[in-house]
Amino acid sequence: MCGDEAAAARTMLQISYPMENGIVKKWDDMQHLWDYTFSEKLKVDTQGRKILLTEPPMNPLKNREQMCEVMFDRYGFGGVYVAIQAVLALYAQGLSSGVVVDSGDGVTHIVPVYESVVLNHLTKRLDVAGRDVTRNLIKLLLRRGYALNRTADFETVRQIKEKLCYVSYDLELDKHLSEDTTVLVEDYTLPDGRVIRVGSERFEAPECLFQPHLVDSESPGLGEFLFNTIQSADVDIRASLFKAIVLSGGSSMYPGLPSRLEKELKQLWLTRALQGNPERLSKFKVRIEDPPRRRHMVFLGGAVLANIMADKESMWVTKAEWDEQGPRVLEKLGPR
């Protein structure tokens, strides 16, 4: 059972995920999901069609090979192309160079791209993302006294998160507001009719993206991770990367996240590059692109690319090539 059917019966089920931190781990479950997608949702005959697949940066080569094998052998696709998610996000924004901050359900990636080529040696992975924010919100609500089941109520809490949570621009101010006033308190009606009140949890839950230690991760936070990544690039492209930061994925949708990220980058530049001298800070230019459609940026970029490639047969890996050469034909897709 998967998809909408599983979501509807989630209170009676033990939910599992085929992917962990953006990487497919349970291939049988993943195939069930693909079966459901092609037959139930899209209702397409896959025989002989072409498919553009996406993968995260640093996806193990074995995973890419297995994904293509399933598409050719199980579903009978006639052509396959595999694109890096971050590059597609840039295409959707009309860019070929920049830094993509792609934060989804299981993983956050910071991916510098220069002229459509991923700078793999600079790519960073942060294993804190949407699912961690949801778990953190469950923990915070339990602490407040609400009896929520970590499995059965996971989807409900995810919906609370998407409706009420935001990233704090000024933590101290928001803490004072939550302790001394009720301006941050919002009511939320649960599926069973109960009403819960959510206050400081609204900004405390997603704070783990900027302070991963809150969810027992030793990684630097999102702002520091991004700053360090750009500062590790060649000095002649750093300025252009700071001016083309593109947010992508569902976990980049929190209100306040772009401005908090910009604030942290400027603070890090002030303390590390300017040694605390604020007079030159005005010359430091940061541009964070946060299009409203960024939840679906990878899909939109994929649609653009697939449309361009539709009649360019040489760009696709064909079934005949796969049958003849096996996985090594994937080298045709270029550097990963």
Instruction: Express each pLDDT in 75-112 by its tens digit.
Output: 999 999 999 999 999 999 999 999 999 999 989 999 99
Instruction: Express each pLDDT in 32-81 by its tens digit.
Output: 999 999 999 999 999 999 999 999 888 899 999 999 999 999 999 999 99
* Residue 336, pLDDT score: 61
Reported confidence tier of residue 323, pLDDT bands at 50, 70, 90? very high
* Residue 13, pLDDT score: 78
Res. 122: pLDDT tops 70 = yes
pTM of the model: 0.88
Q: Taking residues 182-204, what's their average pLDDT? A: 96
Instruction: Express each pLDDT in 255-294 by its tens digit.
Output: 999 999 999 999 999 999 998 888 889 889 999 999 999 9
Q: Taking residues 9-16, what's their average pLDDT? A: 77
Kindly provide the b/e burial profile for residues 130-167, where b requires at least 16 CB atoms within 10 angstroms of the residue's own CB. Answer: bbbbbbbbbbbbeeeebebeeeebbbbbbebbbebbbb
Instruction: Express each pLDDT in 287-305 by its tens digit.
Output: 999 999 999 999 999 999 9
* Residue 15, pLDDT score: 80
Task: Please report the domains of the chain, with CATH numbers, ordered by start residue.
Answer: 3-92+297-333 (3.30.420.40), 98-127+218-295 (3.30.420.40), 130-209 (3.90.640.10)
Q: Taking residues 133-158, what's their average pLDDT? A: 91
Q: Are 173 and 184 in contact (CB under 8 A)?
A: no
Average pLDDT, the chain: 93
Q: Taking residues 134-153, what's their average pLDDT? A: 90
Beta bridge partners of 248: 102
